[in-house]
Structure 1
Amino acid sequence: MEPTRRPTRERITGLVLAGGRGTRMGGVDKGLQPLHGEPLAAHVLKRLAPQTGALLISANRHTDIYAALGAPFGATIVADTLPDFPGPLAGLLAGLRSAQSDYLLSAPCDTPWLPVDLGARLAEALESSAADIATVTTSDAGGNASLHPVFALLRTRLADDLADFLQAGERKVRAWYARHTTVEVAFTDERAFYNINSLQELADLERHRGPG
């Protein structure tokens, strides 16, 4: 692998993170909950697929259903190698280990309006900053900044370091990012990163075409 190769689309593997417990949704599999006639994960796949080469779906339950969802996009299902749903870093590790590319672009399964230029903008920032990780920030109307760390472009060479971090019992995404050169990319449309956290939110959004 040549770490200095440019993060062009064909060198980026996409990863949809759908391996969580769905605790705030009462334990249901969040990525499979319907919105406007399609599972949330399907919305994310449609937006992520044009931005990447290969595609992966991180899933620990209902893998046959996710395989069917991912089939039109040629997506492969990957599962956590650590037990008990240890969080998004475990999904990232599975993606980094499985990707046959220099870069991994991740997005959570509950964000159906993610930007269509997410990969391009993160790739530009990663390359220009010579960073290891590029992630997303937004600001609300009051100017308050928010970090969206599971939207990220990462160099796949980071897999071993992440494995060591998790093996040490660490679980926080931001703490792991702090170990590496990370660039934060400001996006102006905060609504594009809206994540659906409850069945009530999902029901409310079913009556609209977008958040807010």
Structure 2
Amino acid sequence: MTPVSAPPIATASITGLVLAGGRGQRMGGADKGLQMLHGKPLAAHVLARLAPQVGVLSISANRNGDAYAALGAPWRAGVLADTLPGFPGPLAGLLAGLRAAQTEWLLTAPCDSPWLPADLAERLTHAALSARADIVTATTTNAAGEVSLHPVFALVRTSLADDLAAFLCAGERKVRAWYARHTAAEVAFADERAFYNINSLQELAELERA
């Protein structure tokens, strides 16, 4: 395996945030991050991939906080609940992460993507510096040439917290609409599987059998 080089922004300047605060509607209401894959909760797989890339880690979760907290004390900066009611979406989890972070940057990943890139921080931070961007997200291109944006795999400058709070208080919820308010950049990744997210219990069972 090719070793992953250090990101141009020091890992100590990056807080990782695993987004696990959704309703799990496509999993019948199950708490997605705590569903088991190969003997470990999905969120634990994501934490293991993200931990070497950041200084500290947090989890955005609106239920089962004790179960998430038990996933690993050495890295844990906290389990963060949304400050807005009614599960308003990933931007609410992002806001909680931006508010809690003690670093300049926040790197986010969803709890249902156990194969996220080992060089996610490295490549997004390079783009942040070269493009002078405040937000950097990942894209992939499929065999048909169609480009997919993966907006919740993102590097975000934590100084944007107040702007995001105002955006949410205005009733806005769309991730891309908020990104469009700021200087943003995208990084193309070749491996689509790295961004695969598990959306149903059936998909999870099939992966478990595989």
Please report the TM-score for the alignment, with normalisation by the length of structure 2.
0.95
Q: Which amino acid in 2 is paired with 1:160?
A: D
1:71 Cα deviation after fit: 1.8
Alignment gaps of 5+ in structure 1: 1-5
Find the counterpart in structure 2 of residue 91 from structure 1: 93
Which of 165, 172, 176 aligns to 2:178? It is 176
**Residue deviations 1:4-41, cap 9 Å, x none?**
xx632110000000000001100000000000000000
Find the counterpart in structure 2 of residue 3 from structure 1: none
CA–CA distance in 1 between the matches of 2:59 and 2:25? 19
Find the counterpart in structure 2 of residue 26 from structure 1: 28
1:83 Cα deviation after fit: 0.2
CA–CA distance in 2 between the matches of 1:58 and 1:46? 16
Secondary structure of the structure 2 residue equivalent to 1:197: coil
Contact 2:69 2:76 in 1 (8 A): no
Secondary structure of the structure 2 residue equivalent to 1:70: coil
- Asked if 1:138 corresponds to 2:133, the answer is no
Secondary structure of the structure 1 residue equivalent to 2:148: strand
1:75 Cα deviation after fit: 3.8
Contact 2:95 2:165 in 1 (8 A): yes
Q: Which runs of 4+ in 1 moved over 3 A?
A: none
1:70 Cα deviation after fit: 3.2
CA–CA distance in 2 between the matches of 1:17 and 1:68? 16
Which of 70, 73, 97 aligns to 1:71? It is 73
1:142 Cα deviation after fit: 1.0
Find the counterpart in structure 1 of residue 4 from structure 2: none
Find the counterpart in structure 2 of residue 60 from structure 1: 62
- Asked if 1:202 corresponds to 2:204, the answer is yes
Find the counterpart in structure 2 of residue 124 from structure 1: 126
1:170 Cα deviation after fit: 0.3
Which of 40, 46, 51 aligns to 1:44? It is 46
Q: In the comparison of the two structures, how many residue pairs are matched?
A: 203
Find the counterpart in structure 2 of residue 193 from structure 1: 195
Q: Which amino acid in 2 is paired with 1:55?
A: L
Alignment gaps of 5+ in structure 2: 1-7
RMSD value, Cα: 0.8
Identity percentage of aligned residues: 73
- Asked if 1:148 corresponds to 2:150, the answer is yes
Please report the TM-score for the alignment, with normalisation by the length of structure 1.
0.94
CA–CA distance in 2 between the matches of 1:152 and 1:80? 18
Secondary structure of the structure 2 residue equivalent to 1:148: strand
Secondary structure of the structure 1 residue equivalent to 2:129: helix
Q: Which amino acid in 2 is paired with 1:66?
A: Y
Secondary structure of the structure 1 residue equivalent to 2:72: helix
